Structure 1
């Protein structure tokens, strides 16, 4: 299942505001191909979640559509082409990707559950889809840092602030160790802002080094909601959006986005 040059065909894609993803094969592609989406398994685990889509004629091209109502579990979905029965699956080369509908995605209100999909190119040059699926989400719309604190503006999707709402920073690997901050509510409880004092956070890190994960608890009895940045066209933020560290009492503190695009604060000893 190759092109005339023996190389895999290019597969373009575009995404709509509703999350619908359209995959396009170039003119001249053989009929009978299907598209396979495979949830990338953890190391040493078998693959379990698979979705197969048919290509349909669309002018000179052939097109497969991933419907927004088809639920994708959270994770990274690799894209393959399937040919004749028994033929080996093939990774297509990425073609043009139209992600314009995602650029201002944080401005659109999302119901629960919050489903996010972003087509992207992997480090080894293959097409994949990054998916998130959460009961609710707190989108970090802005993170302003100074030498003494960080102030975050966020918007809730699938939830709203109620009485007893707090922002909770939890020290990773330290059980129930947490610091709480009172949020400032805006826009009928859907938007909020909060400021984290670096000195207090550094003083609450017993070993002098650690990572604090940021959550919003929208009500006294409500489950925690992770704060992150998911609603735009960046599938991986960690190495792209980088905030400067601040020196506070011999410790360096910096907010950063994790591999899942969630917001955390790293505390480390100054060299």
Structure 2
């Protein structure tokens, strides 16, 4: 028992030492979608001329899932790497490492993230796509970057809840809204089951409403929300909220629910953001908690 306790203590001491000596990176985001990393000394002094910051997409399986950025000395004695907005970063979660002179990559720990330029960001959409990169700390305390690349992109904004319905406001990037535009709620488990909603538009801004009752009638399960800005003849765009500084919105953005009496029992329905920050509607068995008016 004592030996086991000692082993655990030694293991925790090793983990604490590794965390305290691991290189750290401060990150600054710009409004165009670029990131700058300022890294503390990654070790092996005298080899800084061959140091790199390595971004590796989680579950990487090809050369395209790695991005190497040179680390150069900066004025404050640290090493700096830049990820311009013009460098494409595929959608996903990218783990960050420092690598010196061909040695083993060392996982970076997060320092200070300056993400002020991402708040209320409104890109032009002139490139036909929207690129978003948000650095964040993982559950293990490591530095990663969450990346989205949407072409076109439908940004979800204010969500109003009243009288058993929800009204979603948003803005389209990378394409235009036409008179044929409409929105869809698609049952995830049954993609052929769709509820269509009319869209009102003013320039790139749009709004549409959905009633919770018809969604709940199909029983528990999530519904994904899509915008068709040109109707059936154009693209089909997943609604998401990406243009801010919150990497994971699922547990942070919460909304009241509507209780619905159905043949499946009492169910509750309400909007939520998925682990990818896409907007959906969750229908599940009723539980305690706030309800919408």
Report the TM-score when normalising by structure 2: 0.83
Select which of 72, 77, 87 maps to 2:94: 77
Aligned to 1:36: 54
Cα 1:84–1:217 shift into 2, 3 Å = same
* Counterparts in 2 of 1:28 and 1:174: CA distance versus 1, 3 Å: closer
Q: Deviations over 1:132-166 (max 9, x none)?
A: 11211111111122351111110001112113111
* Deviation >4 Å, runs of 4+: 3-6
SS in 2 for 1:182: strand
Whether the 8 Å contact between 2:268 and 2:284 is mirrored in structure 1 is: yes
Give the aligned partner of residue 230 of structure 1: 242
Specify the SS of the correspondent of 2:117.
helix
Q: Separation in 2 of the partners of 1:199 and 1:63?
A: 54
Larger of the two Rg values belongs to structure: 2
Kept in 1: contact 2:187–2:221 (CA 8 A): yes
2-structure distance, mates of 1:55, 1:84: 11
**How far apart, in 1, do the equivalents of 2:205 and 2:150 lie?**
18
Q: In the alignment, does 2:211 pair up with 1:194?
A: no
Tell me the residue number matched to 1:9. Answer: 23
- How far did residue 184 of structure 1 move? 1.0
In 2, distance between residues paired with 1:81 and 1:263? 35
Conserved 8 A contact 1:35-1:53? yes
* Distance across 2 between alignment mates of 1:238 and 1:28: 34
Shift of 1:219: 1.0
1:217 to 203, 228, 250: 228
Partner SS for 1:183: strand
**After superposition, where does 1:19-34 map in structure 2 within 5 Å?**
19-26=33-40, 30=45, 31=48, 32-34=50-52
Question: Which of 72, 84, 89 is equivalent to 1:56?
Answer: 72
Kept after mapping to 2: 8 A contact 1:146/1:246: no
Is the 8 Å Cα contact of residues 38 and 47 (structure 1) preserved in structure 2? no
Residues 149 and 28 of structure 1, relative CA distance in 2, 3 Å threshold: closer
- Per-residue CA deviations over 1:37-59 (Å, capped at 9, x if unaligned) read 00111xxx746410111111221
Structure 1 residue runs without a partner (length 5+): none
2:174 alignment counterpart: 158
Question: Once the 2 structures are TM-superposed, how far is the Cα of residue 5 of structure 1 from its aligned partner?
Answer: 9.9
What CA RMSD, in Å, does the superposition of the two structures yield over aligned residues? 2.0
CA contact (8 A) 2:69 2:82 kept: yes
Q: Distance in 1 between matches of 2:28 and 2:188?
A: 37
**Residue 180 in 1 paired to residue 196 in 2?**
yes
Once the two structures are TM-superposed, the CA of residue 110 in structure 1 deviates from its matched residue by 2.3
